[in-house]
Each structure stands twice: as C-alpha cells, then as structure tokens.
Structure 1
Amino acid sequence: MLAVRAYQVGARLAGGFLPLLLHRRAKAGREDPARIGERKASNMAPRPAGNLVWVHAASVGETRSVLPLLADFMATQPDTHILMTTGTRTSATLVGQLTRTGFPHIDRLTHQYLPLDRARWVKRFFDHWSPQLALFVESELWPNLLLEMRRRNIPAVLVNGRLSEKSFKFWRRAKNSARALFGCFDRLLAQDDITAQRWQELGLQDIMLAGNLKLDAPPLEADASALAQMQAALQNRPVWVAASTHPGEEAMIGACHEALRAMHPDLLCILVPRHPERGPEIAELLASKGETPPRRSAGTLPSEHDAFYIGDTLGEMGLYFRLGGLVFMGGSLVRHGGQNPLEAARLDNAILSGPHVGNFSAVYDMLAADDGVVRVSDAREMVDALDGLLRAPAKSQTLAENARACDARQGGARAHTLAVLNEL
C-alpha cells in the first residue's frame, strides 16, 4: 500500500493547484471550458431515477470498443440508465455524436467528464450519482476514485482489461498497492492471456479471460454521401492513408510521401491525426515543405493537384479506410505503442506499421503469423514497402485478405463480457 499512500499524500498536497491546472488545460484546448465544472464534480447533469450503471472509458479507443457492448447490455436491461464518463474532449465528442449515428437506447445514456482524482471531488461525484454498478474499460486506475468506490460497496468490473509490460513491471514492485487497487473490482476480465498471467503473478483473484472487445467490433461506419463525394473528388487516384498519427510522425510521413511521389506522381496521402485538433499544426508543417493541403474540417475536398489531404475530423475513420486500400497505422514510428489495426483490416486494407506497437502486440503478432501486416523499422523502409505494394496490387490484395481473415477468426469477447455483467 506504500505506493497508494504516497499517491494520496501527493494528491492532497496538489489539490489546491488542480483548478489552475484545469484552467491552463482549457486555455490550451485540452479541456472544454463550458464543462470544466464536471472535472470538479460540480455542474453535473441530474441523476436519472432508478438503476444506474457507471461506465468509464478514458479516451476514444476505449469508448469505441465498449459502445457495442453497452448497446447489447442496455437491450437486456431495459430499466437501466448508463452514466458514461470519459477523460478527453475527443471521446466526449464521439459520445455526443451517438444521436446522429443512431446509437440504440441513447435516451438512457448520459455523458459526463470524469472528475480529477481529488478526494473531495470524488466523494461529491459518488454522492450525486450513486451507481449500482461500475465498469472500467481497459487500464485506467485512479486510486482515490477506486478506493472510495470500494468503501461504498459498489460492485465493479474491469472489462477488456489490459496490463502492459511497463505497468506490470511497476506493479510487480508494488504488489500490495496492486492488490489494493485491483481488489476494488469484483471481476477482472482480461483481454488476452498475457494480461491474465500478469494479474495472476501479482496475486490477484477473480480473473477471467474474456477476450478483446476491440477484436469483436463491427466495421467502422461511413456516411454514404460523404463517401460518394470523396470518391468523385479522387477520380481513381492511388491513395494511401496514414491513420491515427502522433507528433513526430507527420514529418517522417511527409518525407516518405515525397519520395513516393517521385515514383508515383499521382499518389495522394490522406493524413489523419489521432487528435483532430492538431490539423492546423500539421498543415503548417506541410506548408513549410511547400505544400498547401486542404483540411477536412474546413469542408474542402482534395483536388487533383494536392499531394496531401488532412483528415482532421472525429468519427470519420470509416470514411478514410474505404478510400485507399493501403493504410499505415500511426503511433508506431514513434514510441507511442501503436493503434488498433483491425479497424483497417475489417475494411479490406493492406496494413503497414512501424516497430512500436506494444499496446497492441498480441494483435500484431496474430496478423504477422497470418501474413496480414507489413512491419517496417523506419520511414525509409516504409517507402520501399509502399512502393512495392503500389506496384503489385495483387500482393496488396492478398495482404488485405489475410488481415481480414485473421480478424474474422477473433470474436466472442462481447458475448462473454455481457454474460458476466448480466450475472451481477
């Protein structure tokens, strides 16, 4: 418990500075100024009457993975209301779009930002919402929040649980704290064998291998009208998509594309940053190289003369994945840990990735075993790999078919998880 106690002391000492931190984050665009009160457990929406299940998904990836499960769960629990908390503006925007995208039972879902982990704010959050069940998605653990939840005897499940190698090494040095925090959950549902084994080595109990919700999701959707407009604008140009890129990658992708254009003059790169608000920053970077890329957020379409198109919108990855057939998954040329490649696989894309995929290592290992992904070590190798696939469409199609077949063999996580939830 030493690590947890040290955290709590630090949180108390830092508590007075948290409002200033929120103010600065809002000025930087990282918090929604109109909803800053929710981060302090104030200005909260009214609590609906009756049974309330609280679901916390830290960011966009976790939110996307859990939404199909929530749709199934709400169908089996018609009297239950869902409180969904997230921690980022992009994930809040994604939840806000559910009405437009036709999410079922949306009238029984309320979104709030998760309060920061200050003891008094955490207590105020629970006093207001008083959930009958709590679900945490993947790996985000806030000590004050979890311990207060346990103190109030709120049943809790960690769904789609994941324990990275880095986190495992930390918790192995602080086993008592690990048992205290993970022990706040009545069930630990692991997304893979590695996580289950690591939890067991930490001495945790109530572990179940349920599978990965991200491997059990439907294909990303795309607006039919927007897709038709983009396809008309592209006029059958060759396209590759750099998806979910992170700072430091765009410069490498720009250099890679410049080299490719020398061999494929008509080639277009659709560059989709993980965080859409970085669109202006990326446009400025490319402008310094003599490019004037149109941006999706401005409502513009790529012209025949554009070398780049910046997809700086949220919730349109399904559109971009239907355009090119060649996708590089970002977060992998820099040490971010990669992004989920199966969203691209489900839409018949040949997939490329850099070396840094620790957050999805099991998924990439499966794809590699089925010849469903090309791994490159740097931008120079990516030029060679993309050039080879552009020159050999049959090879690209085989790569895409292998990836889709690999994805099709996964599944069942949603049903297994739903069965556990309905038992509680």
Structure 2
Amino acid sequence: MLRVLYSLLWLVALPVALLRLVWRARKEPGYVQHVGERLGTYGNLPAAGPWLWVHAVSVGETRAAQPLIEALLADYPEHRILLTHMTPTGRQTGAQLFGGQPRVMQCYLPYDLPWLVRRFLRYFRPAAGMLMETEVWPSLVRGARVAGVPLLLVNARLSPRSFRRTARFGGAATAMYRDFTGVLAQTQGDAERFRALGLASVQVTGNLKFDMQPPEDGLRRGRLLRQGFGARAVFAATSTREGEETLLLEAFSRWQALAADAPNPVPRPALLLVPRHPQRFDEVAAMVTRAGFSLQRRSALGDSAAWEQAGLPEPVTADVLLGDSMGEMALYFAASDLAFIGGSLLPLGGQNLIEACAAGTPVLIGPHTFNFAQATEDAIAAGACQRVTDADALMRAAAAVLGDAPGLAAMRGHARAFAVLHRGATARTMAALARVLSA
C-alpha cells in the first residue's frame, strides 16, 4: 500500500519535477538537456551490453566511484560500464573522468516511477547494479529485485540522523533495504545502523574515497599556481555552501585581530575560495567584491596545461582567488598551505576531507560533520585535521597553524599518512561484486 501511495505522489509531482528542471536551467542549462532520459527514453545509447551499472548522483559520488569504475574496466573487459547521474554537474564530472573511455556510457537515471524504472532496466538489462552511498530510490530498488538485477549499495553510509528518519518508516524501510542484494558500508557504525533496520547482508568494505589518487598533473599544476601567490600563505576554503561564504568573508576581514592571539601571528593570507556548486560562482564573486576584497577568478588564468609551458599568465595578487572551475580540486589543494572543508560551519553535514589529505594538505573543519563523521574523527585522531567551532575560531586556528612552520609540516605528513592508511575499499568492493556475479 505504501508503494502505491509513493508512486501516486511521484505521479502527481512529475509535472512539478519537470518544471523544476526548467527553473534550475536558468543558472545551469544542463538541466534541460537529455530530459528524455529522465523519462526512461535511451534510444541515443546502445542497448547491447553486457552492462555493469554504477549510479553516482552528483559530483562527490562520481569522483568516489572513479577507482571502482577503473577496477571494473580492468577486471571485466567484456563489459561496458553504465554510469548514471541525477545532476548535470555529476554528469560533467563523469565526462571529465571517463570521456575518453569508449566502454563507459553516461545517462540520467529515470524518475522513480515503476514503469520508468522498468523501461530503464529492460533497455540496458545490467548484469549488476551499484548505487553509491545514500542514493536509495524505493521503486528502483524494488524494480531491480523484480527484474532479477543484483543490486548493491556500495560505499554506503547512514548517519545517526538519517537512521532516525529512516527508522520512522518501520517495516517499510526494512523491506526496501532488504531488496538490495547486499549493503557495503563505509564504517562499522554505518553497518550497525543498517543492521538495526533488520538487514543481514551488510559488510564493512571501507570508504572508496581513500582509493582516489589525486592526478599528478593536477598536483603539478597546483604547485605552479602556488608559485603565483609569491611569499603569501594560501588558505583554501573549499566546497563552501550557501550561507558559509558570508561567515567566512566577515571573519577573514577581521584576520589581523583574530590572528593576534596566535603564538606567531602571520599576515593575512590569500584566500582561495571554491564554492561547491558552480551555479553560485557569480553570486560568490559579487559577495567577495561587496565585502571589500580584491578578486581574481581562476577562469581568467586560462588552461592550466599551458602553465607548464609558459607559466601563469599573471601573478595572483588579489585578496581572494575564486576557484570557478570544475574538476580541479587536486590543483586547488596542491596550491594551498591549509584547507577548510565547507558544509561544516552550518548544519549541512560536511564534505569529503580525504581528497585534501591525499594531496598532503592539512585540514580545518567546522562542527557539523555528521555525513562524514568517522572519516573526520579518524583524521583528527591522526593529526591531519583540527575542528573549529565557528568562522572566527577558524581564522584563529588558521593563523596558528600557518604561523607554526614545523607544526604545519607535521600536519602535512599526518595528512598523507592518514589517506594511505585507509585504502583498500575498492578491492573489497570488487570481491563482493565477484561473489554476486558468480552466484
């Protein structure tokens, strides 16, 4: 009965969902491209497989899926990889990572109506499906079970807050998760919460993000960008979300006063500000200017590949460099002496800090990290990360770390060691998939 009610609600909401695509396309035109795919129409893609299907909703999940997809390509040479998304930025990230790989095809997942799901599954007939992290759609999961498509929830996480919300649905939530062939959890805590919902087929495989290797060309070009800042320290604020930039810029304007308490006060560093969502780049640029800071944009510096031949077109002399590009996080981290990871000053759950650590960049993070709780606590325990309570405390901590050269060097080493220590999730995930495919 609940499934019928859910489908009816989706049917009523479908026109609204389509109108929302048009609304969002005002800032991000990609939302009105490939609309047919969201309705289960895939005639522009080859149906012939065999397919292994990975669903990665947006940018973070797509990047996390990279080591898994590379392993699938290597271990299953007779298969094509179907990579599905829900957002244009996720699709763009997938194209950047795999656009030159002819065995990787991309499309949007259909809306979660049973007949659209059936159309999708009948067209591609995947040998197995892997949904990344938290992307659980009831009709999709049930449809895969009915169609005989083994479905794994991989790199799975379930925060305490999400667990409480899910548990309110009682047996309906348990029945939905039991339609998965297996759940491969990031941490023991995630696994325990899945088991508390009544699931038996749960195992801990670790976090795929630890297996993401920062691209060497990105790191190399980031070091070139770092040279453009000259003698100034560079403090990055990455993956910032709406509402956080205002707090950061206000605290940054008070740097001298906030840094005065540091044992070795340092001049105000350059701020490398990287909003999480590209549709907000212009909005954040205007924010920086209104706050009275000078601004340069990463996009004005040209193609980073050219820097290796001719150097930067101009030095970075502004107070703030806006990171208004996609797919260059390794470059941004390599250009930074210290990084703040956004989504954590406000109760948004935080973002992935592993990529910064893998680049050897120490991390500061806010109080709200419930989406990445275990990784954050492990990074703090390893000496790779420090937690702060608010934006003022963030600037005080940044001043203290940047003013302590030996301590900063030690944090860099701890960051790299932390990233290396927790690798191996890809191999464990591939072993679980092999068992499913051979069953």
TM-score for the superposition, normalised by structure 2: 0.89
How do residues 130-141 of structure 1 correspond to structure 2 at under 5 angstroms? 130-141=125-136
Change (3 A) 1:398 1:225: closer
| Structure 2: runs of 5 or more not aligned | 260-265, 303-312
Match of 1:274 among 249, 273, 276: 276
CA distance in 2, matches of 1:232, 1:16: 51
Distance 1:333 1:14 in 2: 33
Q: Report if aligned partners of 2:48, 2:124 keep a CA contact under 8 Å in 1.
A: no
Match of 1:19 in 2: 18
State how 1:314-393 maps to structure 2 within 5 Å: 314-393=326-405
Question: In 1, distance between residues paired with 2:223 and 2:397?
Answer: 29
Helix, strand or coil: the match of 1:126?
A: helix
Contact 2:27 2:279 in 1 (8 A): no
Partners of 1:384 and 1:18 lie apart in 2 by 44
Alpha-carbon offset, residue 78 of structure 1: 0.9
What does 1:190-269 correspond to in 2, within 5 Å?
190-223=185-218, 226-227=221-222, 229-260=224-255, 264-265=266-267, 267-269=269-271
Distance 1:345 1:226, change over 3 A: closer
For the structure 1 residues 117 and 317, does the alpha-carbon distance in structure 2 shift closer, same or farther, using more than 3 Å as the test? same
Return the alpha-carbon distance in structure 2 between the equivalents of residues 210 and 116 of structure 1: 29
How many angstroms apart in 2 are the aligned matches of 1:177 and 1:401? 47
Identity percentage of aligned residues: 35
Out of 412, 424, 430, the position equivalent to 1:412 is 424
- Please name the residue that 1:296 is paired with: 298
Contact 1:221 1:319 in 2 (8 A): no
Equivalent residue, structure 1, for 2:109: 114
Alpha-carbon offset, residue 379 of structure 1: 0.9
Q: CA–CA distance in 1 between the matches of 2:251 and 2:287?
A: 14
Alpha-carbon distance change, 24 to 342 in structure 1, aligned in 2, over 3 angstroms: same
Cα distance between partner residues in 2 of 1:223 and 1:371: 25
> For residue 262 of structure 2, what is the aligned residue in structure 1?
none
SS in structure 2 of the partner of residue 141 of structure 1: coil
Aligned to 1:180: 175
Partner Cα distance (2:316, 2:391) in 1: 25
**Worse-matched range after superposition: 178-187 or 133-142:** 178-187
- Does the 8 Å contact 1:339/1:357 carry over to 2? yes
RMSD: 2.1
- Supply the distance in 2 between the matched residues of 1:224 and 1:399 (Cα, whole angstroms): 18
* Cα 1:292–1:360 shift into 2, 3 Å: same
- Which of 134, 157, 164 aligns to 1:162? It is 157
Q: CA deviation at 1:43?
A: 5.0
CA shift in 2, pair 1:371/1:227, >3 Å: closer
CA distance in 2: counterparts of 1:372 and 1:271, whole angstroms: 21
Other-structure match for 2:68: 69
Shift of residue 81 of structure 1?
Answer: 0.5
The one-character-per-residue Cα deviations of 1:229-279 (angstroms, maximum 9, x if unpaired) are: 523422232111111111111111112222226765462100011112211
Q: Could you tell me which amino acid in structure 2 is paired with residue 295 of structure 1?
A: R
| Residue 21 of structure 1, CA deviation | 2.8
Partner residue in 1 for 2:305: none
Match in the other structure for 1:149: 144
Checking the alignment, whether the CA contact within 8 Å between 1:302 and 1:309 is kept in structure 2 is no
Paired residue secondary structure (1:22): helix
- For residues 49 and 18 of structure 2, the distance between their equivalents in structure 1, rounded to whole angstroms, comes to 33
What is the SS of the residue equivalent to 2:102?
helix
Contact 1:48/1:81 (8 A) holds in 2? no
CA distance in structure 1 between the partners assigned to 2:395 and 2:49 by the alignment: 57
| Bigger shift: residues 109-118 or 225-234 | 225-234
Q: Counterpart of 2:287?
A: 285
Cα distance in 1 for residues equivalent to 2:246 and 2:217: 28
Q: CA deviation at 1:28?
A: 4.1
Give the drift of 1:97: 1.1
* Aligned residue pair count: 419
3-state SS in 2 of match to 1:388: helix
CA contact (8 A) 2:337 2:402 kept: no
Determine the C-alpha separation between the residues in 2 that align with 1:166 and 1:216.
27
Q: Which is worse superposed, 170-179 or 333-342? A: 170-179
Which residue identity does 1:27 align to in structure 2? R
Is the Cα–Cα contact under 8 Å of residues 349 and 369 in structure 2 kept in the other structure?
Answer: yes
Q: 1:167 to 1:227 in 2, by over 3 A?
A: closer
Amino acid at match of 1:271: L
Deviations 1:272-291 (A, max 9, x none): 11112211100111111223
Off by >6 Å, runs of 4+ in structure 1: none
Kindly indicate whether the alpha-carbon contact (under 8 Å) linking 2:299 and 2:324 is maintained by their aligned counterparts in 1: yes
**Is the 8 Å Cα contact of residues 219 and 347 (structure 1) preserved in structure 2?**
yes
Residue 32 of structure 1 aligns to a residue whose secondary structure is: helix
351-360 or 208-217, larger mean C-alpha shift: 208-217
- For the structure 1 residues 16 and 387, does the alpha-carbon distance in structure 2 shift closer, same or farther, using more than 3 Å as the test? closer
CA–CA distance in structure 2, aligned partners of residues 240 and 16 of structure 1? 44
For residues 16 and 218 of structure 2, the distance between their equivalents in structure 1, rounded to whole angstroms, comes to: 44
